[in-house]
């Protein structure tokens, strides 16, 4: 069983615009018809004259990389639970589901209540796709049966406070004791041109380095 914590730039409006126009295909992005639908339901049109600078391209590359990491994770753990923290209007669940013959993973977005309420008016209810406020509910932890977990962090828009993060980590570690006997932390560095994951500074009690990272894996043995 593996417990992964991954960093991700997430889906902002610019990212949705490019995905809706299939503008990331040259970067190897997975087709994303949900992006166009989401933009329309949010009241945005498809802009044809958007500039896509080098920073945007690097962000898109990292997002594509995490898509592929998810798919590789599902090959080993097809019934995994994926949690997106502060994901906002992410379409990753929908585009990954569209390329799998039989999606068996579960997906959970944890965000602020006002964001969750808005998403619920946009996305239809699906058995394996849940939305919860991170401050009000830990029932997903109580329902966790020890399956592998991948946690995606949308650092660009995440609004979790220090207390929120500590509470989340504490609850996750406490619940995991029911299923694991030991674990160790691995940190993998990525290209420093990518965004600095400043929220990781709040997790110094986990001895995380204050630098750029691509992914943090909590490998459970």
75-130 pLDDT per residue, tens: 888 888 888 877 778 899 999 999 998 899 999 988 888 888 888 888 888 889 99
Among the ranges given (22-26, 41-45, 46-50, 54-58), the one the predictor scored with the smallest mean pLDDT:
22-26
- pLDDT tens column, 159-194: 666 567 667 767 776 766 665 544 443 444 343 333
pTM for the complete prediction?
Answer: 0.75
Apex 107 CA angle, 16 and 63, nearest 5: 35
Question: Which of 2.60.40, 1.10.287, 3.40.50, 1.10.286 would CATH assign to domain 3-160?
Answer: 3.40.50
- Quote the CA–CA distance of 221 and 215 in Å, as a whole number: 18
Length of the chain: 221
Domains in the chain: boundaries: 3-160
Query: Cα-atom radius of gyration of the chain, to the nearest Å?
Result: 17
Per DSSP, the residues of 53-113 read -HHHHHHHHHHHHHHHHHHHHHHH-TT-EEEEET--S--HHHHHHHT-SS---EEEEEE-H
From first CA to last CA, the distance across the chain in angstroms is 7
């Amino acid at each position: 069983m593996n417990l992964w914590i991954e960093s991700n730039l997430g889906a902002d409006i610019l990212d949705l615009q490019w995905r809706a126009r299939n503008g990331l295909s040259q970067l190897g992005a997975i087709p994303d018809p949900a992006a166009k639908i989401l933009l329309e339901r949010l009241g945005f049109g498809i802009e044809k004259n958007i500039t896509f600078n080098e920073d945007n391209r690097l962000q898109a590359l990292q997002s594509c990389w995490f898509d592929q990491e998810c798919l590789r994770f599902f090959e080993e753990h097809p019934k995994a639970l994926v949690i997106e923290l502060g994901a906002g209007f992410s379409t990753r669940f929908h585009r990954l589901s569209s390329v799998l013959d039989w999606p068996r993973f579960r997906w959970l977005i944890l965000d602020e209540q006002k964001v969750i309420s808005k998403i619920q008016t946009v996305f239809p209810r699906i058995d394996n796709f849940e939305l919860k406020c991170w401050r009000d509910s830990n029932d997903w932890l109580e329902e966790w049966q020890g399956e592998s977990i991948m946690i995606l962090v949308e650092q660009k828009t995440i609004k979790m406070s220090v207390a929120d993060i500590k509470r989340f980590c504490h609850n996750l570690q406490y619940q995991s004791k029911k299923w694991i006997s030991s674990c160790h932390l691995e940190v993998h560095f990525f290209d420093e041109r990518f965004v600095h994951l400043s929220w990781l500074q709040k997790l110094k009690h986990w001895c995380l380095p204050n630098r750029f990272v691509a992914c943090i894996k909590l490998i459970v043995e």
